[in-house]
Amino acid sequence: MTLPRRPEQRLSGWLIVATKTQELKLDIERIGTVSAILTQPENARACYVLAHGAGADMRHAFMDKVAEGLAERGIATLRFNFPYMEKKQGRPDQPAVAHAAIHAAVAEAARLCPGVTLVAGGKSFGGRMTSQAQSKAPLPGVKGLAFLGFPLHADGKPSAERAEHLAGIAIPMLFLQGTRDKLADLGILKPVVEGLGPKATLHEVEGGDHSFAVLKKSGRSNEEALTEVLDALTTWIGGLA
């Protein structure tokens, strides 16, 4: 299904070109089929394979806003459900299953968006599974990984254990993190990112939580914080080309 979007102009200064949204089915070898959505602006210069977090699927409002915001900036997104979410099961897939889903999504994005800069990552769990997949078997054609709130540790249990595999990744990585994120103590994350060298970049969203929501007393809105996230991501992707 293709749903055309009308061109318009936003105050942020980004020109919105004609965009199409396609509902797809993604085949994961030896596992099954899951739903996917390609949001593709005209003349897209990049495509971001956007994996969802542990508790919400690809249609969550946050995922919608990211896909729409990136389309305004000339970047396509391919969203997809992990198998457990497609089956409406509560517990996330085993890593091997999640990694297979990510490899399938990357291959589909490369097929549907040939010739553009290919980036992978996603929200929380989705971003972490993407980094694990890349560390075990590089994702073909992917030029960089972007994490929308990397879940460094469980709430209240600061640790860098979940970041150990990142050292084995050779391509650029972008960590977009709220300073109030309870799943990523910046006192631990900053040294991790610094230890990865020039291939890793950390962008802190002042006052943002794990989903970049800010407190009213911060003086800005959640929409403004998300705009900062999307602008930073767009600039970083542009640098990969």
* Residue partners of 146: CB distance under 8 A and separation at least 6: 48, 119, 120, 121, 127, 173, 174, 176, 233, 236, 237
What are the domain boundaries of the chain?
2-240
Predicted pLDDT at 10? 42
pLDDT tens-digit map of 124-153? 999 999 999 999 999 999 999 999 999 999
* Dihedral Cα 56, 57, 60, 65, nearest 10 deg: 120
Residue 5 predicted with pLDDT over 60: no
**Strands of 6-141, DSSP E:** 8-9, 15-16, 19-28, 32-41, 46-51, 75-80, 117-123
* Residue partners of 56: CB distance under 8 A and separation at least 6: 62, 63
3-state secondary structure 107-174: HHHHHHCCCCEEEEEEECHHHHHHHHHHHHCCCCCEEEEEEECCCCCCCCCCCCHHHHHHHHCCCCEE
Predicted pLDDT at 130? 98
* Residue partners of 144: CB distance under 8 A and separation at least 6: 119, 171, 172, 173, 174, 236, 237, 240
Tokens of 20: 């199409």
Bridge partners (DSSP) of residue 21 are 3, 39
Task: Please give the mean pLDDT across all residues of the chain.
Answer: 93
d(CA 142, CA 48): 9
CB atoms within 10 A of CB 121: 28
Residue 2 predicted with pLDDT over 90: no
Tokens of 139: 């994702």
* Residue partners of 10: CB distance under 8 A and separation at least 6: 16, 72
d(CA 199, CA 213): 27
Predicted pLDDT at 9? 41
* Res. 90 pLDDT band, cuts 50 70 90: confident
At the topology level, CATH places domain 2-240 in Rossmann fold (3.40.50)
- Report the sign of the C-alpha dihedral through residues 36, 212, 68, 143, in that order: negative
Residue 8 predicted with pLDDT over 60: no
pLDDT tens-digit map of 69-88? 999 999 999 999 999 999 99
d(CA 49, CA 38): 9
pLDDT tens-digit map of 188-227? 999 999 999 999 999 999 999 999 999 999 999 999 999 9
